[in-house]
Structure 1
Amino acid sequence: RAASGRPPPGPGPGPASHPPPRRRRNGSARLGAGRLSPSPRSGPESDRSLLLAPPPPVLPPPRRARPAAQRRSGKCRRRSAPPQKHISIQRQLAELEKLADLNEGEFTLAVSQNTDLHVTDEKKPCPLCPEEKFKACYGHKLHRHLQNLHWKISVEFEGYRMCICHLPCRLVKPNLVGDQTFSKMGAHYHCIICSATIARRTDMIGHINRHVNKGETESRFITAPAPKSSHEVLKESDTDVQVLPNYSTPQKTDSYFNPKMKLNRQLIFCALAVLAEERKPIECLDAFGATGIMGLQWAKHLRSSVKVTINDCNENSVTMIQENCHLNKMKVKLNAKEEDNDEALGGGEQNTDTIEVTKMDANVIMHMRSFDFIHLDPFGTSVNYLDSAFRNVRNLGIVSLTSTDISSLYAKAQHVALRHYGCNIVRTEYYKELAARIVIAAVARAAARCNKGIEVLLAVALEHFVLVVVRVLRGPSPADDSAKKVRYLIHCQWCEERIFQKESNMVEENPYQQLPCDCHGSMPGKTAVVLGPLWSGALFNTGFLRRMLFEAVQYGLDETQPLLKTLVCEAECTTLKNFSTHKECGVYIKTPDTSAESCVLHGKRKNNEVVRNAAKRQKSDNSAEHPAFYYNIHRHSIKGMNMPKLNKFLNYLSEAGYRVSRTHFDPMGVRTNAPLAQFKTILVKYSTPTYTGGQAEGPLHLTEDVHMGDQVPAAADGKAGDAEFLEDDKSGDTATMFTNDCPTHCAAD
């Protein structure tokens, strides 16, 4: 540039100007990587040529290499290769044994070439244990170690085993030098999906389940099987529902579905069908929809008779309910103000059935709107929703609730029962009926706070749930009558005799006098406890149960019919042989005329005629109330004696003048109004010694006779009724049918 006469570049801006060289903190200029070294010439011309030379481009500093420990850890950047499968994740035990036969770094090469490994007689270390934990040993001992420790204590997923690992695989913070070291940690597992390090086996199982729940089951180590849908379609009572793979775990899924509750759903459907025959249309609510299976069954079978609302507070459950509605060709209305949408229902069918799906808290929707039928099925206890359920339920409506907190109701967690229900209970032979009466007592108190009374229509306590169905009677008088039926129970801890306390506010000097037994005088100490408060009224409504049985026959619910037959006999406290039959449907149902109840006003003013008819029906149905509680025949058997068959024993009690029936609460239970002393006396009378090897026709000679008293005429009437029944059915068709259709809940013989 000096030879051409051009001026040197000045400091001002311009296309020929260059930025000054960057300075270090100490003021010296930074030399680029590609800068030329100065020539050996010296003088002003050489210095000028150096100043006029263009500066080289500034290159970024070289990347600092990461420590080797960090490269082995698998915690790579986004652009790095995905982590490799850990050596503790294998398909077969043979692969783990091959890994033990290799030296460090040879396993990957041998597996890639698919070559067999040479087994020597040298001592070999465990590939998943450090040297200080498991020293090198011979092959047979190492084989037992790998099989019994690492392979057995593993987590299996998609054909792979995540074996337990004892290597120091977790990194610690870098030291002063900058390197990271491995820490001494205990046994752990490596996740095959995300390569996470989990300490405990139970935590590893939960970690894998969370991946499955989220749909994260893909891993580059797993050979992808045939693609399958994340939803599973189940069918029940001609209703299809799609659920998640973990639908049976309520704590870890949003679409809980329990196939064991099918009987519960059918009983609730029969109760709703009976109410739909009384008045149409009715507004019904499934407050805890989950998959929506119950509301879908209501709308699909009852159709225009019901207006179904399915509610759930979980957003994923609401989405699942909407998908199940479309799967069953039902229209969805998201809220009450929104009109029905005209979405395609599939198949080209025009279906006018509409289901309203809401996303609210159950207490909120029951406070906001009124319903004729409400079903509560929360997780655990339902006492938190009783006040809102009875607040706006319409007169003569029905409230059904399913309680699944059986640990507290069945006296396994007595402190929880005291906390939730305010009841003091102990484990008794009649604990299932005790659980039903506890729930009804809580329902009666909640209804009374809303100036409403209840009429118990049905109470069922089985292995997994307690179902209670009540009818709501509006007014302070029914509320007072229901509140009076909540009483305490005196229970003898020696003989398990029981009786409800008398309705009195006065303190009794000797409460043991109320018990029929004399254990307090013959046994030392305090022999009785006070349980409750419990519901002391009837548990069944005979007329309602008969109509439920009729609906079960009409809709082909074969699994529910045996249980309903048992409930009808239990409500009437009679044996199954007195149950009449019908020529067409198999069951003869005597239902009162409900034509006057077909039109019911939904306002707050009561229809006097409807209330009067309901009171008459309730009085006629409860005219012969069944005895409270039952006795288990095995609990009171005599040592060294053969008990009579249960059906024969029922006949013996009936001949003695007592009301008797079997119960669904206990397959070997007997519901009777006979005191426990008379129950044991008749049981001993018709028992035979063990060494005879058979049942004797006549009774044994006892030191204590059976005192029947005024009950002999009743026994004679019972014999006459049996003779008349047998004479009318000489053909034997009825007897044969009931022998074959005997309920499984009572088929203990």
Structure 2
Amino acid sequence: SVSLPHKKHISIQRQLADLEKLADLSEGEFTSAESQNTDQHVAAGKKPCPLCPEEKFKACYSHKLHRHLQNLHWKVSVEFEGYRMCICHLPCRPVKPNLIGDQSSTKMGAHYHCIICSATITRRTDMIGHIKRHVNKGETESRYIAAPAPKSSHEVLKEADTDVQVLPNYSTPQKSDSYFNPKMKLNRQLIFCALAVLAEERNPLECLDAFGATGIMGLQWAKHLGNSVKVTINDFNENSVTMIQENCHLNKMKVMMNPKEEDDCDETMEEGEENVGIIDVTKMDANVIMHLRSFDFIHLDPFGTAVNYLDSAFRNVRNLGIVSVTSTDISSLYAKAQHVAQRHYSCNVVRTEYYKELAARIVVAAVARAAARCNKGIEVLLAVALEHFVLVVVRVLRGPSPADDSVKKIRYLIHCQWCEERIFQEGNMVEENPYRQLPCDCHGSMPGKTAVELGPLWSGSLFNTGFLRRMLFEAVQHGLDEIQPLVKTLICEAECTTLKQFSIHGPASQNKQEECGVFIKTPDTFIHHTYMHTPCGLC
């Protein structure tokens, strides 16, 4: 049975005349009443306000009731698609009762009735914000008014041959469930290249996008890497999960809500339409799904810091798998909010000329500590600090020995505030004069304390040259032209070179690369590039 729409509340009207009809006021009744003497009216001519109780506004004559409706109810109404939600004083929303002696009195509060969801809101500003949130989420169809469904407010965006539909204000995470940031395109391409390299080592890979939002990243993985990856897109927000499912169908992907349904056909797909991949869409807290299932590749990109999810990520990640972490809390990482960095990362940080490298080492140190708590070590494959984010990609090495080796690389940094010279502190013993470790002589020539202790930070390497070369090869193979200059710069940073002619893969005798003590075969393909070195602040 189909439920018919309910009748709208009497406080929701299109025109003031409609509101006056509720009080049985004719158009000329209140004007003629003003010209007559009020003593000539009888009690039967008085009429009550349809939106106020008797104890608040007593029955009055037509001209006074008209002014009351116009000034009290209509002028402070909230407009939406031709309707006015007038303020209502009826006992629809009782407030907390007050005890007066032995009697209890319940005071009725003024409020508005939402035309969309029937909620009662007390303040006009709150009502306006409430309606705006409905519009931002695409919820513009009233459950009270039998009107045709409005046009879809979804906007379709395209990136790397992948279509995604987003809601209004998609670039503002506080106002939209389907957050999509076009400025993070480089981030998504870097992560894709890292996953493509891992897919060449072993497949099929089980990979997780823990914070899917629109699902753009997981869709790109499944669309371009095909059967070599088994993609899981997760999000805790129900509206985002619905949007991810719609985007999967938009890209002709099969949605699998239950892993046991992998062999079943998706009834929502049209007949004769071919699926190019299967995507598992889940609605869980990111910590929960990473505790329940094991993955070869995990990407964390929460809004802000990722420290709350690192322990869960390293709990079940497979050996020699990859964990990528995108941190967008740049205000704390770039030393603009030092107290937040202390709270999230237990790290002392100041603004320096190499603040981006400092931010990358802060995140890597947090990742290494989380991995060590799960008896796992890490090898940093790449670290990128740009304007909007800090990306760290690490390979997981299972065992207590790699964990101990990683923890030993977390050290304090001695930083000179005069000349910006710095050096990692040697050993754990307390020195009488730690300034002697600095190569500068500012402490002797300048008054007061000239250096500060920053950290703890990651003191090891931030790049793996072999992995970066294979990432460049995958970027060329998949036609990702925008990311290639950045990957070339990272290779230069890793090798500390300024001008170099190189091949992505060496000759046939060098087609095996060693990473973490593991030899990995690479194709015998030659692609030569010549480029100038552009420093990025991470060398």
Do both share a fold (TM > 0.5)? yes
Match of 2:285 in 1: 361
Residue 457 of structure 1 aligns to a residue in which SS?
strand
CA separation in 1, counterparts of 2:241 and 2:495?
43
Which consecutive unaligned segments of at least 5 residues does structure 1 have? 1-76, 88-104, 107-154, 163-168, 174-182, 581-586, 598-608, 618-646, 651-660, 672-749
Match of 1:590 in 2: 506
RMSD: 4.1
Match of 2:58 in 1: none
Contact 1:190 1:198 in 2 (8 A): no
Contact 1:331 1:341 in 2 (8 A): no
TM superposition shift of 1:206: 2.8
Match of 2:251 in 1: 328
Match of 2:328 in 1: 404
TM superposition shift of 1:246: 2.9
Correspondence for 1:312 among 235, 239, 245: 235
Match of 1:428 in 2: 352
Match of 2:308 in 1: 384
Which amino acid in structure 2 is aligned with residue 500 of structure 1? F
CA separation in 1, counterparts of 2:198 and 2:421?
38
TM superposition shift of 1:579: 3.2
Match of 1:539 in 2: 462
CA separation in 1, counterparts of 2:247 and 2:207?
18
CA separation in 2, counterparts of 1:160 and 1:413?
46
CA separation in 1, counterparts of 2:508 and 2:360?
27
TM superposition shift of 1:254: 2.3
TM superposition shift of 1:160: 12
Higher strand share: 2
CA separation in 2, counterparts of 1:565 and 1:327?
34
Give CA deviations for 1:299-333 in whole Å, capped at 9, x if unaligned.
11000111111122222222222221111111122
| Pairing 1:393–2:322 present | no
Give CA deviations for 1:24-66 in whole Å, capped at 9, x if unaligned.
xxxxxxxxxxxxxxxxxxxxxxxxxxxxxxxxxxxxxxxxxxx
Contact 2:323 2:396 in 1 (8 A): yes
| Pairing 1:579–2:501 present | yes
Contact 1:333 1:340 in 2 (8 A): no
The within-5 A match list for 1:42-441 is 80=10, 82-84=12-14, 203=126, 206-217=129-140, 228-343=151-266, 345-346=269-270, 348-351=272-275, 353-441=277-365
**Normalized against structure 1, the TM-score is what?**
0.54
CA separation in 1, counterparts of 2:461 and 2:472?
19
Match of 2:535 in 1: 663
Residue 372 of structure 1 aligns to a residue in which SS?
strand
Contact 2:155 2:166 in 1 (8 A): yes
CA separation in 2, counterparts of 1:156 and 1:171?
18
Mark the structure with the bigger radius of gyration. Answer: 1
CA separation in 1, counterparts of 2:360 and 2:320?
22
Identity, % of aligned pairs? Answer: 78
Match of 2:452 in 1: 529
CA separation in 2, counterparts of 1:85 and 1:470?
63
Higher relative contact order, structure no. (Cα contacts within 8 Å, ≥ 6 residues apart): 2
| Pairing 1:484–2:414 present | no
TM superposition shift of 1:570: 1.1
CA separation in 1, counterparts of 2:306 and 2:480?
27
Residue 459 of structure 1 aligns to a residue in which SS?
strand
Question: Are residues 534 and 82 of structure 1, via their aligned partners in 2, closer, same or farther at CA, if it must alter by over 3 Å?
Answer: closer
Match of 1:552 in 2: 475
**Normalized against structure 2, the TM-score is what?**
0.74
Which consecutive unaligned segments of at least 5 residues does structure 2 have? 1-6, 18-29, 32-77, 92-108, 523-530
CA separation in 2, counterparts of 1:387 and 1:452?
11
Question: Are residues 83 and 567 of structure 1, via their aligned partners in 2, closer, same or farther at CA, if it must alter by over 3 Å?
Answer: same
Match of 2:53 in 1: none
Correspondence for 1:613 among 494, 518, 525: 518
Contact 2:223 2:276 in 1 (8 A): no
Match of 2:423 in 1: 499
Question: Are residues 535 and 214 of structure 1, via their aligned partners in 2, closer, same or farther at CA, if it must alter by over 3 Å?
Answer: closer
The within-5 A match list for 1:613-652 is 613-614=518-519
TM superposition shift of 1:567: 0.9
CA separation in 1, counterparts of 2:336 and 2:262?
49
CA separation in 2, counterparts of 1:359 and 1:226?
28
Contact 1:331 1:340 in 2 (8 A): no
Contact 2:409 2:458 in 1 (8 A): yes
Which amino acid in structure 1 is aligned with residue 374 of structure 2? C
Contact 2:12 2:115 in 1 (8 A): no
Question: Are residues 532 and 306 of structure 1, via their aligned partners in 2, closer, same or farther at CA, if it must alter by over 3 Å?
Answer: same
Question: Are residues 339 and 405 of structure 1, via their aligned partners in 2, closer, same or farther at CA, if it must alter by over 3 Å?
Answer: same
CA separation in 1, counterparts of 2:175 and 2:352?
34
Which amino acid in structure 1 is aligned with residue 447 of structure 2? P
Residue 397 of structure 1 aligns to a residue in which SS?
strand
TM superposition shift of 1:245: 1.8
Question: Are residues 82 and 352 of structure 1, via their aligned partners in 2, closer, same or farther at CA, if it must alter by over 3 Å?
Answer: closer
Contact 1:241 1:327 in 2 (8 A): yes
Question: Are residues 189 and 578 of structure 1, via their aligned partners in 2, closer, same or farther at CA, if it must alter by over 3 Å?
Answer: farther
CA separation in 2, counterparts of 1:424 and 1:266?
32
Residue 415 of structure 1 aligns to a residue in which SS?
helix
